[in-house]
Structure 1
Amino acid sequence: MKPLPLLAALLISPSAFAADGVTTKGVIGPESMERPENATLLISEDGHALVPEKDDIPSKWVFEDGVLTASPKWDSLVTKENYSDFRLHVEFNVNDNGKTDNPEANGNSGIYIQKRYEVQILNSFGVSEEDYKASYCGSIYKIKKPDQLVCKKAGEWQSYDMVFRAARFDGDKKTENARITVYQNGKLIHDDFEIPRKTGAGQKEGPEPGPIKFQGHDNPVRFRNAWIVPLELD
């Protein structure tokens, strides 16, 4: 694979960032979505590197033919390593369980960054902009809707490409909010957004890095081709 364009420059050249501080802008774009050589594979054709979130809950996730299918129950998987700043790619495929009376129970999963901030996964295709909630697919859960609606139909493969810069702390005092840029299906849906707090059931914010959680939420959402690259966005 070709190395990620601009990545080296961004890591060593502070002038590449906005004048008011380090951001997640410019690290990736539509022309730079390929997997760099130094990426850690989380889900590949040969297996996956995720582990159960809780030791006392047997995992019911299933891996077959390069696809990892979420548990039909309430159990999640996490990365073995903890991360601060990073770039993540993941492909997902939501199910349609027909629960039109409760749209947030249909195709539900999510990517929990540091187990603190959730980028929602849901079967949200066809929802109008007027009716779209900040708890639907692509949202920073209950904080911000995506800037544009680009969801595909249930059964079709979709992608998230994210650049995340962790919140900064001085001791226990937060000095900078976390920031995130997200592309869904190659379209920019969050542009260097400042995440003001943890989301939903996320863990409390803190200075320590954390794992990436693939949420099991009673739906057999499928995942494939997931990888991560640690960054140093200072």
Structure 2
Amino acid sequence: MTAKLLMTALLAGSFFMAQAQQKAKPEDTEVWEPVPEVVKPGEVSIEAPADAVFLFNGKSLDQWVSTNDRSKPAGWTVSDGVMTVNKQAGNIETKKAFTDYQLHIEWRIPENINLEGQSRGNSGLFLASTGKGDDGYELQLLDSYNNKTYVNGMAGSIYKQFVPLANPARKPGEWQSYDVFWKAPVFAEDGSVKSPARVTVLFNGVLVQNNVELLGPTQYIGKPSYKKHGPAPIKLQAHGDKSVPISFRNIWIREL
């Protein structure tokens, strides 16, 4: 093949790949069935162990920065021991980067929420933030109490990848908890994956992700794939929906 023909073929391939990406739609990767069984959770009470580090102790956001500009402080509100999303300030993430860890976080959907589907208290816990915006590995935060949506986008899902094993969501207005055990991906020098990311998640004390092997960072459109990265911050999402912002408290971590 001559150099001219080779260049023509490469350009044509790039064109068709771009066309395919343009045609991809969010709903292409939505899964609606089977719907996880509803499980009424028991009371969950867990205190931070002695070696845990508080990422939010109810007093300040000094462990967090703006995702869009890490030189700026996190712009969410803190009142009465609770941190609440400020959509205008955008996503926030931890100052420190992590690899493997155990994480505890409590969150609350507003009691007066009145929308449906993905607009119902949407946020996200990114277990490793790999860039600005919504880049990273997302554990979904959403009101999943009597709220129909695609099941790989409900609370407890690894967004667009893994459906939760059960639905133990509490009513809006009640505090919920995630206990996360995160194993970061490991990459070779050439960028290939030596070992993929793995995660186990307890949602209100109920196992919803059991040592699942992630396919790569989560994607809103298209299929996930890995790109080499190192230790990464933990990120909380200020989702652009119309619902009332959700709140957080009692966030601590143990590096493993």
TM-score of the pair, normalised by structure 1: 0.77
Matched, 1:182 2:180: no
Q: Which has the larger radius of gyration?
A: 2
SS at 2:51 equivalent: coil
> 1:73 deviation in Å?
3.5
SS at 1:83 equivalent: coil
SS at 1:114 equivalent: strand
> 1:109 deviation in Å?
0.6
SS at 1:134 equivalent: helix
Deviations 1:98-120 (A, max 9, x none): 222xx101101110011111000
From the superposition, tell whether residues 32 and 199 of structure 1 become closer, same or farther in structure 2 (CA, over 3 Å): same
Of residues 212, 220, 225, the one that matches 1:193 is: 212
SS at 2:180 equivalent: strand
- Contact 2:65/2:73 (<8 A) preserved: no
Matched, 1:98 2:108: no
Q: How does 1:73-88 map to 2 (within 5 A)?
A: 73=88, 75-88=90-103
Of residues 221, 224, 228, the one that matches 1:206 is: 228
- Contact 1:118/1:141 (<8 A) preserved: yes
Q: 2:122 maps to which residue?
A: 108
Q: 2:10 maps to which residue?
A: none
SS at 2:90 equivalent: coil
- Contact 2:141/2:154 (<8 A) preserved: yes
From the superposition, tell whether residues 31 and 151 of structure 1 become closer, same or farther in structure 2 (CA, over 3 Å): closer
Structure-2 separation of matches of 1:39 and 1:226: 10
> 1:207 deviation in Å?
3.8
Of residues 57, 60, 69, the one that matches 1:44 is: 57
One-letter amino acid matched to 1:226: I
Higher strand share: 1
Structure 2, unaligned stretches of length 5 or more? 1-42, 130-135
Higher helix share: 2
Q: 1:228 maps to which residue?
A: 253
> 1:80 deviation in Å?
0.5
- Contact 1:168/1:174 (<8 A) preserved: yes
Q: 1:122 maps to which residue?
A: 142
Structure-2 separation of matches of 1:107 and 1:203: 28
Deviations 1:140-170 (A, max 9, x none): 0011111011011111100000000011111
Moved more, 188-197 or 59-68: 59-68
Percent identity (aligned):
34
One-letter amino acid matched to 2:160: K
Structure 1, unaligned stretches of length 5 or more? 1-29
